[in-house]
Amino acid sequence: MKIKWMKMSALMISLAFSGSLWAEPISVVSSFSILGDVAQQIGGERVQVSNLVPADGDAHAYQLTGGDVKKLANAKLILINGLGLETGDVVRAVKNSKITYAEATAGISPIKHEEHEEHDHHDHAGHDHHHEIDPHVWHDPVLMQKYASNVATALIKVDPAGAKYYAARFKNYSAELSKLDAFARQQFNAIPKNQRKVLTGHDAFSYLGKRYGIEFIAPQGVSTEAQPSAKTVAAIVRQIKQTGVKAVFTENIKDGRMVQRIAQETGAKIGGKLYSDALSRDGNAKTYADLFRYNVRVMSGAMK
């Protein structure tokens, strides 16, 4: 009987230490699914994460609902990407909620539109200034180290009792991000530099391009709301015909008709879809790590 009680006591102590016996999971609301996954990977059992923009949803064009406002009000922590990804009404609702919030991109130097404007793929006319800054930092797993660190810091701030737990999980996640970077280098380095060209629906992959030496061509700018001009599309058609881009992809968050039209006009073959701004409901991009590996695998395969 004594041995049995000792075993039970040991179990209770270990459960209490892991935070899963008495501690109610803290409510974390993230603005979109990729950020929500990072929060889940670091938060583990101590958090309950919900997202405003669901899997396969477009954060650039998301309309806030009454249910979202309620969700924000009941959260212990709100996480946003920042750099202009979230719409103005989402940012206002987050600030008005008076709940602790953090920007995952804090401290990360963003790519500015001007840095990759020479390809003449962007039509800024009539768009907000924030569209000049590229918010898609998650396509660079090296920058994601800082992104994930910001999430871990925010969790520790609102739940200091879980500090050791979050720190240990962040360390494991950091190692996973390093593996993703090594995988991408291995895949892309095997392809000649002049073949590393990809056509996508909107300009979401510049961070990936900068890190691994890939040229991305897109009819739309960094926001899916920026409609391309006929001149931009014609310039892309010419460029694809001249350079023979093989890797042509639609995206999970948006209508692929524009890319299909360009493919038809150039004779290029669409190699499937990429997961740009959201995780997926299908099995290809259930987590950020899945999304990144899948995108690298299909892009590098199409470039060959």
Question: CA–CA distance from 235 to each of 53, 57, 138, 217 (Å)?
Answer: 33, 29, 28, 10
- Indicate which CATH number applies to the domain containing 203: 3.40.50.1980
Half-sphere exposure of 14 (CA within 13 A, CB side): 6
In a domain, residue 4? The reply is: no
Residues 141 and 243 in one domain: no
Q: Which domain holds residue 27?
A: 23-172
Residues 30 and 119 in one domain: yes
Q: Domains in the chain: how many in total?
A: 2
What's residue 23's pLDDT? 76
Residues 136 and 90 in one domain: yes
Structure tokens at 147: 């992104």
Residues 27 and 162 in one domain: yes
- To the nearest 10°, the Cα dihedral for 147, 149, 153, 159? 100
3-state secondary structure of 80: strand
Residues 205 and 111 in one domain: no
Tell me the three-class secondary structure of 259-295, residue by residue: HHHHHHHHCCCEEEEECCCCCCCCHHHCCHHHHHHHH
What's residue 9's pLDDT? 54
Residues 135 and 247 in one domain: no
pLDDT 10s digits, 8-67 = 555 555 544 544 455 799 999 999 999 999 999 999 999 999 999 999 999 999 999 999
Residues 90 and 203 in one domain: no
In a domain, residue 15? The reply is: no
Report whether pLDDT(214) > 50: yes
pLDDT 10s digits, 78-128 = 999 999 999 999 999 999 999 999 999 999 999 997 643 434 444 433 344
In a domain, residue 16? The reply is: no
What's residue 10's pLDDT? 53
Residues 94 and 228 in one domain: no
In a domain, residue 8? The reply is: no
- Final residue in a domain of this structure, among 116, 137, 172: 172
In a domain, residue 265? The reply is: yes
Report whether pLDDT(278) > 60: yes
**Burial class of residue 98 in the structure, from the number of CB atoms within 10 Å of its CB (0-12 exposed, 13-18 middle, 19+ buried):** exposed
In DSSP terms, 79 is beta-bridged to: 30, 102
Q: 28-42, 45-59, 239-253, 275-289 — which is least confidently predicted?
A: 239-253
Residues 43 and 135 in one domain: yes
In a domain, residue 10? The reply is: no
Residues 166 and 299 in one domain: no
**Burial class of residue 50 in the structure, from the number of CB atoms within 10 Å of its CB (0-12 exposed, 13-18 middle, 19+ buried):** middle
Residues 29 and 128 in one domain: yes
The answer to whether the beta carbons of residues 110 and 99 sit under 8 Å apart is no
In a domain, residue 185? The reply is: no
Q: Please tell me the distance from the alpha carbon of residue 181 to that of residue 186, in angstroms, as a whole number.
A: 9
In DSSP terms, 200 is beta-bridged to: none
In a domain, residue 88? The reply is: yes
Residues 246 and 111 in one domain: no
% residues pLDDT > 70 (the chain):
87
